[in-house]
C-alpha cells in the first residue's frame, strides 16, 4: 500500500478550532444592521382546501409593517426534479401549516401581530393522509395539474392520479424464479415518516439591493442549486443567474433537510418586494417538523423466493411511498429505491414497483439514507426470517447471496469493486456471532441481529463539482470549493487531498463554506458524493497547480519534469539531490532569471469533475439499459441487545459496523460518521415517532414529545470497522460513506429483538411500548 | 422567539414586600422562581400577567432544614440543590431519587420543587414523593398563613388550591417515628430527559404501613387508600403484592395521548408498583441509606 | 426598561432591558454574544446553555431582567485567553461535527469538571444529557472528556 503523508491520517478538522471556541458563525449569528426586516409566515389550518381569498388589509395597518405578500405576488412554480411547488400557496393548500402569506415588518413582534390579522377564506376539501387511500380508484386529486408539470425525463407520472412517479424494474423472469423456489416468504413492512432534527433551524436572510443584486445568506446544503432555483423561479421578475449570490456560513446540521430549496425561496422572493432592505426568515422548532422536508413513509410489500440452500431465485418489491403534498425532491427518493430495492444481493429475477404518491401531509424529501433505510428495514428483516425458516445462519445466507464485483445490479449495470464479504466476516468476528449469549436474569432477554447495507448516490447523471486552488505568498493555500461542511468533515478531507498532492500541511490550507460568487460550481452536498466528486475536482486542481510548478521549474531551471517532485513544501529532483526550491519563494513571485527578469506568476489550479459514464436513459418499463448510479458503498453491521421483558425497553450492549469507504481519507472523521449515523439509526428504530391527528396536523412538533436520544441513551459500545477496497475512480480510492452508517440499524435491531424474544415486528418504530404490548399479546395467546 | 406580550417586573427583597405586591396585584400577578415553566408559558401567551414577582431575592425561601421532626424545603430550593442535600438524601430519599429524574442538569439548576407543584402539570415528578410523605404546603398572604396538606393541594391539571394573593413559602415533610424507606419509579420513553408518562411513589414503614401514590395517570396525582389498606391488612407477601398489583386497574384510569397508550401506562404502573415496593423493601433492610456520593449518581440510584 | 448590571465574561456590563426579553435574546441581539444558540426555544435542547454563577442554565428560559447582579459566562469568555485544555481536547479528538451544540456542550462539561474533576463515564453522560446533538452520537464527546480527565 502506498505511503501517504496526509491521506489516511486523522488530521484535526480545519474548522475545529472555530467550533470549539465559539467563533463559528451560523446564519442567524450574522449581523445585518438596523435596517434588517423580519418576516412572519401565515400558515393554512387545513391539510387540503381551496384557497378562495386572502384579506391582508388589517395586517397592513399594523405599525412597522412594510409589506404583506401572498401567492398572488409570486405565481411561479419551482422544484428540483419536478416543478410542483409554489413559493406561497396559490389556489389550494395541500398540507396543514403550508405557507399562505408573509408579513414583513421592522420587528418580529410587529410581524407576528400582523400575521394574525391576515384573513383567509378556504373551502375545505377531502384530505388524504395515507398513500393507499390516495391510489384508490376515484381518489380526489391533490395535484390535478400533475401531467403538465415540468420534470426530468426519467420521471414517469401517471396522469390524473396521485402517482407522481412510478419506477419499475423488470429483470429476468420473476414468475419462473418463484416457481423454482423451495420457499417463498411474503409480507408487508411499514416505515413511517421521520424528521431530520438538525439542531440549527432553517434560516435565510435575503437582500435585493437597489442595483438589482439578490443576495441570500442561508443555512443550506445546496448553495449553487439554490442560486439556480431562485434564478429560474424569479426569472419572470427579471432575475438572472449572475444577479443571484448565495452565501452559506456554518451549517448546524442538515441530514438532507437543507438540501434543495425549501423555506429559503420565501426569503428570496419577499426580498424582491422590499427592495433595499435585508429581510430575515427564521424557522422555529415546530416548523422544522411540519414545514421542511420529512423523511418519506413507506408501505413495502416484499416477496422473496429461495432455494433450500438460501440462494435467492426471485424478488418482488412493491413500495408505496407517502411522499406528501409536494414531491419535487421526494420523487427522486422513490426513484433511487426503485433502482436499488434488491439490496446488496445477486438477484437474477427481480420486479420492483416504487410508487411516489401524493398525500396531504408535509412534503417528503431527502433524508440521510435517501430511501435505503426504509426499504432495507423490510428486506433485511425478510432475509433473517427466510434464514430462520430454512435453518441457515443469518450471516451465512447473506454471505451466499452477497453481490460481487461485476455481477449485475437490478438495472443491469455491473457492480463496482466492493468489500462486502470482508465486511460481513469482520463484523461476525468482532461481535462473536457464533457465541451463544444467555441472560442470568429471567426478566432480561438477550439477542443478536445482523444486517447488510448498500447505497448509491442518487444524482442527475451530469451532477458535477469544481475547484479553484490559489497559492498565497507563504505557499499557504486557499482552496475554493462549493461542497458544504455540514459537520461530516468535508472541508478537512479536501484540504488533505490538496496537501497530499502539493506537500503543503493541512494546517496551511484554508477552505471554507462557499459564496456562489467566489467559489466554483458544485451541484449539492447530498448523496454522500462530495468526498468522491468534489474530491476528484480538488485532486485535479492540485495536480493542475503541481504541473504549473513543474512547467516553471523545467522552463527556468532546465531540469527534466519527470525528475521533479514535491516534498516538505519544496520542489526537489530525483537526479539532483542538491536541488531544493521552496514553494513560497516562487508560487506568487515567480523565479528570477540571470538577466533580472522574472518568469512565472501566481499559481492557480483548477479542477472540474463530472461522472461521464452515467446515464438515466433506459427502458421505462424495465429500467434496463442505463447506468443511473455511479457506484454503491456497502457494509455490514451487527448488534447485541438486552430487553427488559416486563417493560419492553431495549438496551443496546454493542454495535459493530463495517463500511467499505474505498479509502478512509481521514479515519477519525470516518469513525465519527459511523458512530453518529448509528445513533441516528437507533433513534429512528427505538424512539422517534411523528404523530398526526385526523386533520393532518402534527401533534408532537417539539423535542418534548419527538424524542431524539441524549447522552444517557447511547449503546454501551460501538465498534467501527473500516474496509478499504478502492473505488477506481475515487480520489485516492475513496467513495462516500456518510449516510450509509445509519441504514442497517433499524433491521439489525428488529432482527436482534426477534432473536431475543421470538417476536417479529414489521413496523417502525419499535418502541418499548410496542415491544411490551406485543409480548403481552403473545403471552395471552399462549 | 420574542415574547410578544408586555408585563412588569418586581423583585422584592423581603417576604413582606412580596406579600404586599401580591395583595396589590392579586390575580394579575405571577410568581417567578426558577421560571422554567413560567417563561415557556409566557412565550405561548398562556396566563400572561400584568406583573411578575421574582422571589429569588428572598433569602429565607432558600433553605432546606430540619426543624424538630419536620423537614422543610423552601420555595426557592432547586432540584439540583435537592440532589446536593445530605438532609434530603438521609430523610426523604424518594424525593432525592425523583429529583434526579427531573429534566436535565441545566434545568434542575434553575427549576424549583415548589414551582413544580405550583405549575401542577400532571406529569410532574415531585408530587408522588410528597404525597407518600404526607407533605404540607405552607402559604402566606396579607391575610396570614395557611397550611394545605398535599392531598388537598391539586385541583386539576395545572390547577391547585392556591389563592391568587398567596405565596408558597415552603413545603414540610413530617419525619416518621419509625424506620422507613421509599422508592420512586418513572415511566420514560428512554433514559434521557423525558416527562413522566406515569410514575409511582412508594413509602414503606417498619410497622408495615405502605403509602402508595400514582402520578401522571390522571389530571392530578393521587394516593391509593385501597391498595394501602389492603397491604396494611394483609401484610407484604408475594400474594398480597400480586393482589395489590391487580387492583391498580381499578384505582387509576390512565388515558391514551401522544406520549403513550392507556394499555401501556396501566401495565407499566403495575410493573413500576412492584419494582418500587421491592426496592423499598430492600432499602428498609439496609442499616443506612447513605452509600453513594451525591453528585451525578442517577444510574446508581436507579439500580440500587 | 430597567437598567441591569451584571458581569459577562469577566466584564461588567450595564444595559437597559425589558421584562419580556429572554437572556438568550439579550446576549445575542443586544450584546453580540453569539455562541449561545437557539435550537428549540423551550428548554429541551441545551444549545442556549450559559453559566450563571458557575451553574449551567437554559438562557432561553431565563428573563434577562433576572440576572441583575449575576456573573455570566459563555464560550466567548472561556476562549478569551486561548482555548482551555478541555477545548483543546475536544479539538484534538475531532469531537464535534456541525458544531452547533458545541458551546452548550462545552459549558456543561466545564461545570461538571469544576465540581468533579474526575467524573465517571456516567457522571459525564448525566452532565451533558441536556445537550442534544444530532451529529456525534455523543460517544466521541464522552470519550474526549474521559481522556482529558485521565491526563490530569
CATH number at residue B200: 3.30.390.50
Q: How far apart are CA C48 and CA C40, in angstroms?
A: 9
pLDDT for the residue B214: 98
CB-based contact C58 B54, cutoff 8 Å: no
Residues of B in contact with A112 (CB under 8 A): 2, 4
The CB-side HSE value for B35 (13 A sphere, CA atoms) comes to 25
Domain of residue C104, CATH code: 1.10.150.120
Q: What is the mean pLDDT of residues B188-193?
A: 96
pLDDT of residue C1: 84
Contact C130 B42 (CB under 8 A): no
Residue C126 distance to chain A (closest CA, Å): 7
Smallest Cα distance from A165 to chain C, Å: 32
Beta sheet of B70-74, edge-to-edge order: B64-67, B70-74, B167-174, B136-141, B144-149
b/e map B150-189, b = 16+ CB within 10 Å: bbebbeeebebebeebbbbbbbbbeebeeebbbbbbbbbb
CB atoms within 10 A of CB B48: 18
Size of interface A-B (CB pairs under 8 A): 52
**Does residue B175 carry a pLDDT above 90?**
yes
* Average pLDDT over all residues of chain A: 98
What domain range includes position B279? Answer: 180-287+294-303
- Comparing C-alpha atoms, which of A703, A698, A677, A674 is closest to residue A688? A703
Residue of chain B with shortest Cα separation from A112: B4
Of the candidates C42, C79, C131, the beta carbon closest to that of A21 is on C79
The end-to-end CA distance of chain C, in Å, is 47
Distance CA(A211)–CA(A247), nearest Å, equals 18
Q: Choose among B2, B51, B18, B287: nearest CA to A108.
A: B2
Contact of A628 with A616, CB cutoff 8 Å: yes
Report the complex ipTM: 0.98
Which residue of chain B is at minimal alpha-carbon distance from A709? B192
Residue corresponding to grid cell 394545605: B148
Helix, strand or coil, per DSSP, at residue A8: coil
**Residues A197-211 pLDDT 10s:** 999 999 999 999 999
Note the pLDDT tens digit of each residue in A659-694: 999 999 999 999 999 999 999 999 999 999 999 999
Which residues of chain A lie closer than 8 angstroms to C39, CB-CB? 199-201, 252, 285
Answer whether residue B37 shows pLDDT above 60: yes
Report the 10 Å Cβ neighbour count for B218. 17
Residue C102's region, left for phi above 0, alpha for psi from -120 to 50, else beta, is alpha
A599 torsion bin: left (phi>0), alpha (psi -120 to 50), beta (else): beta
pLDDT at residue number C123: 97
DSSP-based three-state secondary structure for A111: helix
Residue ending a domain, choose from C53, C77, C101: C77
B74 part of a folded domain: no
| pLDDT tens column, A490-506 | 999 999 999 999 999 99
Question: How distant, in Å, are the alpha carbons of A645, A700, A774, B251, B260 from that of A770?
Answer: 12, 18, 6, 24, 10
Strand partners, A364: A294
Interface probe with C: pick from A20, A202, A687, most Cβ of C within 10 Å: A20
The string of pLDDT tens digits covering residues A33-90 is: 999 999 999 999 999 999 999 999 999 999 999 999 999 999 999 999 999 999 999 9
Q: Is residue A196 within 8 Å of A688, Cβ to Cβ? A: no
Total domain count, chain C: 2
Cβ separation A112–B104 shorter than 8 A: no
DSSP tag of A185? E
Rg of the Cα trace of chain A? Answer: 27
Flag whether pLDDT at A451 surpasses 70. Answer: yes
pLDDT at B304 over 90: no
Mean pLDDT of A379-394: 98
Tell me what the mean pLDDT of segment B114-124 comes to: 97
Cα angle A704, A705, A711; round to 5 = 65
The single-letter DSSP state of residue A593 is -
Q: Is the pLDDT of residue B295 over 90?
A: no
Query: What residue in C sits closest to A22 (Cα-Cα)?
Result: C35
The answer to whether A771 touches A761, Cβ cutoff 8 Å, is yes
Q: Are A98 and A120 in contact (CB under 8 A)?
A: no
CB-based contact C130 B104, cutoff 8 Å:
yes
Q: Where are the beta strands (DSSP E) in A555-671?
A: 564-567, 570-573, 580-582, 591-592, 598-599, 604-609, 633-644, 650-660
Chain A residue numbers touching B193 (CB-CB < 8 A): 710
Other CB atoms within 10 A of residue A763 CB: 15
Helix crossing, A768-781 with A745-757: angle to 10°?
Answer: 30
> Looking at the predicted structure, is the pLDDT value of residue A782 above 90?
no
Same domain, C56 and C36: yes
Q: Note whether C19 contacts B42, CB cutoff 8 Å.
A: no
Spatial distance between the Cα atoms of A705 and A715, rounded to a whole number of angstroms: 22
| Residues in C touching B9 (Cβ below 8 Å) | 2, 19, 63, 65
Chain B to chain C Cβ contacts (< 8 Å): 102
What would the mean pLDDT of C69-89 be, rounded to a whole number?
Answer: 97
Per-position DSSP letters for chain B, written without gaps between them? -------EEE--SSHHHHHHHHHHHGGGEEEESS-TTHHHHHHHTSS--SEEEEGGG-GGGG-EEEETTEEEEETT-BHHHHHT-HHHHHH-HHHHHHHTTSS-HHHHTT-BHHHHHHH--TT-SSHHHHHHTT-EEEEEETTEEEEEEGGGTEEETTEES--TT-EEEEEEEEPPSS-EEEEEEEE-SSSSS---SEEEEEEEETTS-EEEEEESSSSS-EE-HHHHHHHHHH-S-HHHHHHHHHHHHHH------SS--HHHHHHHHHHHHHHHHHHHHHHHHSS-S--S-STT-HHHHHH-
Quick check: helix, strand or coil at residue A509? strand
C89 and C128: one domain?
yes
- Give the residue, A782 or A124, on which the prediction is more confident: A124
In a domain, B107, yes or no: no
Is the confidence at residue B296, as pLDDT, over 70?
Answer: no
Domains contained in chain A, CATH given: 16-24+464-609 (3.30.365.10), 33-125+202-282 (3.90.1170.50), 297-459+616-781 (3.30.365.10)
The domain that holds C36 is classified in CATH as 3.10.20.30
Q: Do A253 and C100 touch (CB under 8 A)?
A: yes
Rg (CA), chain B: 19
Would you tell me which residues 278-317 of chain A have a C-beta closer than 8 angstroms to some C-beta of chain B?
A: 284
Is A83:A20 a contact under the CB 8 Å cutoff? no
Domain count of chain B? 1
Rounded Cα–Cα distance for residues A405 and A412 (Å): 13
Could you tell me if C133 and C93 lie in one domain?
Answer: yes
Q: What is the nearest CA distance from C117 to chain A, expressed in angstroms? A: 19
pLDDT at B290 over 70: no
Question: What is the Cα–Cα distance from A642 to A649, expressed in whole angstroms?
Answer: 8
pLDDT for the residue numbered B287: 77
Rounded to the nearest 10 degrees, what angle do helices C85-92 and C102-115 cross at?
Answer: 130
Q: Supply the Cα-derived Rg of chain C in whole angstroms.
A: 15
Mark whether C8 and C71 lie in a shared domain. yes
Cα A447 → chain centroid: 31
Q: What mean pLDDT do residues B62-78 have?
A: 97
CA B110 to chain CA centroid, Å, is: 15
C136 vs A contacts (CB less than 8 Å): 672, 675-676, 679
Residue in A253, A675, A678 closest to C134 by CB: A253
Decide: helix, strand or coil at residue A555: helix
- Residues A320 and B31: their CA atoms lie apart, in Å, by 53
Same-domain pairing of C53 and C73:
yes
Which range of residues forms the domain containing residue C26?
Answer: 2-77
Active-site positions of A read 739
- Note whether residue B198 is domain-resident: yes
Question: Both C37 and C101 in a single domain?
Answer: no
Q: Give the chains touching B; criterion: ≥3 Cβ pairs < 8 Å.
A: A, C
Work out the minimum CA distance from B104 to partner chain C, whole angstroms: 5
| B192 occurs within a structural domain | yes
Report residue B301's pLDDT band, with 50, 70 and 90 as the boundaries: very low
On whether residue B87 sits in a domain, the answer given is no
Do A222 and A524 contact (CB within 8 A), yes or no? Answer: yes
- Going by pLDDT thresholds of 50, 70 and 90, the confidence category of residue B302 is very low
pLDDT tens readout for residues A306-337: 999 999 999 999 999 999 999 999 999 999 99
**Best of C100, C108, C121 to disrupt the A interface by mutation (most A CBs within 10 Å)?**
C100
| Average pLDDT of the residues in C49-75 | 98
d(CA B16, CA B28): 18
Contact yes or no for A705 and B191 at CB 8 A = no
Interchain CB distance below 8 Å, C99 and A18? yes
Query: How near does any CA of chain A get to the CA of C85, in Å?
Result: 11
Q: Which residue of C has its CA nearest to B57?
A: C66
**Whether the predicted pLDDT of C152 surpasses 70:** no
Q: What average pLDDT does range B265-278 have in this prediction?
A: 98
Rounded mean pLDDT of chain B?
94
Report DSSP letters for A424-480, one per residue.
HHHHHHHTTTTS----SSTTEEEEEEEEEEEE-----TT--EEEEEEE-TTS-EEEE
pLDDT of residue B249: 96
For residue B293, the model assigns a pLDDT of: 43
- Quick check: B73 pLDDT over 60? yes
C130·B109 Cβ contact <8 A: no
Contacts of C90 in chain A (CB under 8 A): 20
Q: Report yes or no on B60 lying in a domain.
A: no
* Interchain pair A704, B195: CB under 8 A: yes
Q: Of the candidates C77, C110, C127, which is a domain's last residue?
A: C77
> Are both C12 and C47 inside the same structural domain?
yes
Residues of C in contact with A486 (CB under 8 A): 97-98
Percent of chain C topping pLDDT 90: 97
- Burial category of A36 from C-beta neighbours within 10 Å (exposed 0-12, middle 13-18, buried 19 and up): middle
What's the rounded Cα separation, in Å, for the pair B27 and C113?
A: 44
* Mean pLDDT of the A18-38 span: 98
- Name which of B2, B4, B7 is nearest C25 (Cβ-Cβ): B2
Residues in B closer than 8 angstroms to C149, CB to CB, are none
Contact C130 B298 (CB under 8 A): no
Q: CA–CA distance from B17 to each of A248, B57, B167, B238 (Å)?
A: 52, 11, 12, 56
Chain A residues in contact with C44 (beta carbon < 8 A): 702-704
Of A255, A677, A710, the CB nearest to C129: A710
For the residues A394-401, what does the mean pLDDT come to?
98
Q: How far apart are CA A151 and CA C90, in angstroms?
A: 46
Of C41, C42, C97, Cβ closest to residue A488: C97
Residue at grid coordinates 422544484: A79
pLDDT tens figures, B214-249: 999 999 999 999 999 999 999 999 999 999 999 999
- Residue C60's nearest CA partner among A168, A454, B43, B175 is B43
Average pLDDT (C40-50) is 98
Cβ atoms of A748 and A380 closer than 8 Å: yes
pLDDT at B288: 62
Do C93 and C58 lie in a common domain? no
Confidence (pLDDT) at A1:
54
Terminal C-alpha separation, chain A: 59
Amino acid at each position: 500500500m502506498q505511503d501517504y503523508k496526509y491521506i489516511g491520517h486523522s488530521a484535526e478538522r480545519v474548522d475545529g478550532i472555530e467550533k470549539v471556541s465559539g467563533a463559528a458563525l451560523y446564519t442567524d449569528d450574522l449581523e445585518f444592521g438596523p435596517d434588517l426586516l423580519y418576516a412572519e409566515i401565515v400558515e393554512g389550518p387545513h391539510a387540503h382546501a381551496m384557497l378562495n381569498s386572502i384579506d391582508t388589509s388589517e395586517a397592513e395597518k399594523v405599525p412597522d409593517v412594510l409589506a404583506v405578500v401572498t401567492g398572488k405576488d409570486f405565481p411561479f412554480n419551482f422544484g428540483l426534479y419536478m416543478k410542483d411547488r409554489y413559493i406561497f400557496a396559490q389556489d389550494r393548500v395541500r398540507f396543514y401549516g403550508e405557507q399562505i402569506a408573509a408579513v414583513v415588518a421592522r420587528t418580529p413582534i410587529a410581524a407576528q401581530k400582523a400575521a394574525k390579522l391576515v384573513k383567509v377564506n378556504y373551502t375545505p376539501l377531502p384530505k388524504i393522509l395515507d398513500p393507499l387511500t390516495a391510489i384508490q380508484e376515484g381518489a380526489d386529486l391533490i395535484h390535478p395539474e400533475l401531467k403538465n408539470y415540468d420534470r426530468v425525463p426519467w420521471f414517469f407520472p401517471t396522469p390524473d392520479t396521485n402517482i407522481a412517479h412510478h419506477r419499475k424494474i423488470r429483470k429476468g423472469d420473476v414468475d419462473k424464479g418463484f416457481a423454482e423456489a423451495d420457499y417463498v416468504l411474503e409480507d408487508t413492512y411499514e416505515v413511517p415518516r421521520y424528521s431530520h432534527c438538525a439542531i440549527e433551524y432553517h434560516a435565510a436572510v435575503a437582500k435585493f439591493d437597489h442595483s438589482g443584486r439578490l443576495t441570500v445568506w442561508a443555512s443550506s446544503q445546496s448553495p449553487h442549486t439554490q442560486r439556480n432555483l431562485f434564478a429560474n423561479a424569479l426569472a419572470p421578475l427579471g432575475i438572472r443567474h449572475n444577479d443571484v449570490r448565495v452565501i452559506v456560513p456554518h451549517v448546524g446540521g442538515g441530514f438532507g433537510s437543507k438540501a434543495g430549496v425549501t423555506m429559503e425561496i420565501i426569503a428570496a422572493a419577499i426580498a424582491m418586494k422590499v427592495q433595499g432592505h435585508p429581510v430575515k426568515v427564521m424557522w422555529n422548532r415546530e416548523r422544522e417538523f411540519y414545514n421542511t422536508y420529512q423523511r418519506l413513509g413507506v408501505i413495502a410489500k416484499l416477496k422473496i423466493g429461495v432455494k433450500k440452500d438460501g440462494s435467492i431465485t426471485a424478488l418482488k418489491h412493491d413500495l408505496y411511498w407517502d411522499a406528501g403534498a409536494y414531491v419535487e425532491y421526494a420523487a427522486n427518493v422513490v426513484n433511487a429505491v426503485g433502482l436499488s430495492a434488491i439490496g446488496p444481493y445477486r438477484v437474477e429475477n427481480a420486479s420492483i414497483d416504487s410508487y411516489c404518491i401524493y398525500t396531504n401531509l408535509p412534503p417528503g424529501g431527502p433524508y440521510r439514507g435517501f430511501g435505503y433505510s426504509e426499504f432495507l428495514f423490510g428486506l433485511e428483516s425478510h432475509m433473517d426470517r427466510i434464514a430462520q425458516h430454512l435453518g441457515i445462519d443469518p450471516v451465512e445466507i447473506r454471505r451466499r447471496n452477497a453481490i460481487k464485483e461485476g455481477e449485475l445490479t437490478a438495472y443491469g449495470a455491473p457492480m463496482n469493486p466492493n468489500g462486502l464479504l470482508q465486511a460481513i466476516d469482520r463484523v461476525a468476528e468482532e461481535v462473536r456471532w457464533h457465541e451463544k449469549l444467555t441472560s442470568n436474569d429471567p426478566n432480561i432477554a438477550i439477542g443478536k441481529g445482523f444486517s447488510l447495507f448498500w447505497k448509491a448516490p442518487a444524482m442527475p447523471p451530469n451532477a458535477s463539482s469544481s475547484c479553484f486552488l490559489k497559492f498565497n505568498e507563504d505557499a499557504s493555500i486557499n482552496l475554493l470549493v462549493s461542497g458544504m461542511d455540514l459537520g461530516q468533515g468535508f472541508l478537512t478531507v479536501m484540504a488533505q487531498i490538496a496537501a497530499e498532492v502539493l506537500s503543503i500541511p493541512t494546517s496551511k490550507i484554508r477552505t471554507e463554506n462557499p459564496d456562489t460568487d467566489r467559489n466554483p460550481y458544485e451541484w449539492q452536498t447530498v448523496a454522500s458524493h462530495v468526498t468522491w466528486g468534489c474530491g476528484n475536482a480538488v485532486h485535479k486542481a492540485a495536480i493542475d497547480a503541481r504541473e504549473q510548478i513543474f512547467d516553471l521549474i523545467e522552463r527556468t531551471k532546465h531540469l527534466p519534469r519527470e525528475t521533479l517532485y514535491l516534498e516538505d513544501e519544496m520542489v526537489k529532483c530525483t537526479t539532483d539531490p542538491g536541488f531544493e526550491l521552496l514553494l513560497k519563494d516562487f508560487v506568487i513571485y515567480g523565479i528570477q532569471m540571470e538577466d533580472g527578469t522574472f518568469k512565472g506568476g501566481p499559481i492557480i489550479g483548477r479542477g472540474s469533475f463530472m461522472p461521464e459514464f452515467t446515464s438515466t436513459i433506459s427502458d421505462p418499463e424495465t429500467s434496463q439499459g442505463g447506468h443511473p448510479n455511479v457506484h454503491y458503498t456497502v457494509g455490514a453491521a451487527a448488534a447485541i441487545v438486552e430487553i427488559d421483558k416486563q417493560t419492553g425497553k431495549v438496551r443496546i450492549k454493542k454495535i459493530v459496523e463495517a463500511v467499505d469507504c474505498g479509502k478512509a481519507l481521514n479515519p477519525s472523521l470516518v469513525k465519527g460518521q459511523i458512530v453518529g449515523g448509528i445513533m441516528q439509526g437507533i433513534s429512528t428504530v427505538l424512539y422517534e415517532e411523528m404523530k398526526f391527528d385526523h386533520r393532518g396536523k402534527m401533534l408532537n412538533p417539539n423535542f418534548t414529545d419527538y424524542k431524539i436520544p441524549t447522552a444517557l441513551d447511547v449503546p454501551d459500545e460501538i465498534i467501527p470497522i473500516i474496509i478499504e477496497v478502492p473505488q477506481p475512480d475515487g480520489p485516492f480510492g475513496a467513495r462516500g460513506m456518510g449516510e450509509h452508517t445509519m441504514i442497517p440499524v433499524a433491521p439489525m435491531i428488529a432482527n436482534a429483538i426477534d432473536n431475543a424474544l421470538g417476536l417479529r415486528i414489521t413496523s417502525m418504530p419499535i418502541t418499548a411500548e410496542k415491544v411490551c404490548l406485543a409480548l403481552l399479546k403473545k403471552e395471552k395467546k399462549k | 422567539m420574542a415574547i410578544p406580550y408586555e408585563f412588569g417586573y418586581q423583585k422584592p427583597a423581603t417576604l413582606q414586600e412580596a406579600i404586599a405586591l401580591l395583595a396589590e396585584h392579586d390575580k394579575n400577578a405571577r410568581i417567578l422562581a426558577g421560571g422554567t415553566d413560567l417563561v415557556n408559558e409566557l412565550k405561548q401567551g398562556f396566563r400572561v400577567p400584568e406583573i411578575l414577582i421574582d422571589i429569588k431575592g428572598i433569602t429565607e425561601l432558600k433553605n432546606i432544614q430540619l426543624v424538630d421532626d419536620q423537614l422543610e424545603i423552601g420555595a426557592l430550593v432547586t432540584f439540583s440543590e435537592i440532589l446536593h442535600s445530605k438532609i434530603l438524601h438521609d430523610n426523604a430519599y424518594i424525593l432525592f431519587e425523583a429529583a434526579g429524574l427531573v429534566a436535565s442538569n441545566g434545568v434542575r439548576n434553575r427549576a424549583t420543587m415548589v414551582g413544580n407543584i405550583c405549575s401542577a402539570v400532571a406529569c410532574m415528578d415531585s408530587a408522588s414523593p410528597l404525597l407518600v410523605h404526607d407533605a404540607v404546603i405552607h402559604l402566606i398572604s396579607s391575610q396570614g398563613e395557611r397550611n394545605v396538606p398535599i392531598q388537598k393541594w391539586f385541583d386539576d391539571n395545572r390547577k391547585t388550591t392556591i389563592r391568587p394573593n398567596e405565596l408558597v413559602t415552603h413545603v414540610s415533610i413530617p419525619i416518621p417515628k419509625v424506620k422507613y424507606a421509599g422508592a420512586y419509579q418513572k415511566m420514560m420513553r428512554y433514559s434521557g430527559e423525558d416527562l413522566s408518562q406515569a410514575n409511582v411513589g412508594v413509602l414503606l414503614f417498619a410497622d408495615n404501613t405502605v403509602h402508595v401514590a400514582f402520578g401522571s395517570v390522571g389530571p392530578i396525582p393521587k394516593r391509593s387508600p385501597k391498595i394501602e389498606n389492603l397491604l396494611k391488612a394483609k401484610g407484604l407477601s408475594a400474594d398480597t403484592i400480586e393482589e395489590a398489583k391487580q387492583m391498580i386497574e381499578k384505582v387509576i384510569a390512565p388515558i391514551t395521548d401522544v406520549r403513550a397508550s392507556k394499555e401501556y401506562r396501566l401495565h407499566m404502573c403495575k410493573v413500576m408498583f412492584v419494582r418500587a415496593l421491592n426496592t423499598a423493601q430492600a432499602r428498609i433492610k439496609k442499616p443506612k441509606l447513605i452509600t453513594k456520593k451525591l453528585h451525578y449518581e442517577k444510574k446508581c440510584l436507579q439500580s440500587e | 426598561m430597567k437598567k441591569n448590571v451584571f458581569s459577562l465574561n469577566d466584564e461588567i456590563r450595564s444595559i437597559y432591558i425589558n421584562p419580556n426579553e429572554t437572556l438568550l435574546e439579550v446576549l445575542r441581539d443586544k450584546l453580540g454574544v453569539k455562541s449561545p444558540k437557539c435550537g428549540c426555544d423551550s428548554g429541551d435542547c441545551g444549545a442556549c446553555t450559559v453559566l450563571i454563577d458557575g451553574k449551567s442554565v437554559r438562557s432561553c428560559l431565563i428573563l434577562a431582567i433576572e440576572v441583575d447582579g449575576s456573573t455570566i459566562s459563555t464560550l466567548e469568555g472561556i476562549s478569551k485567553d486561548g482555548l482551555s485544555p478541555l477545548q483543546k481536547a475536544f479539538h484534538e479528538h475531532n469531537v464535534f461535527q456541525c458544531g452547533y451544540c458545541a458551546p452548550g456542550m462545552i459549558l456543561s462539561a466545564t461545570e461538571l469538571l469544576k465540581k468533579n474533576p474526575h467524573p465517571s463515564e456516567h457522571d459525564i453522560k448525566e452532565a451533558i444529557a441536556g445537550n442534544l446533538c444530532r451529529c456525534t452520537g455523543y460517544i466521541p464527546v464522552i470519550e474526549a472528556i474521559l481522556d482529558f480527565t485521565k491526563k490530569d
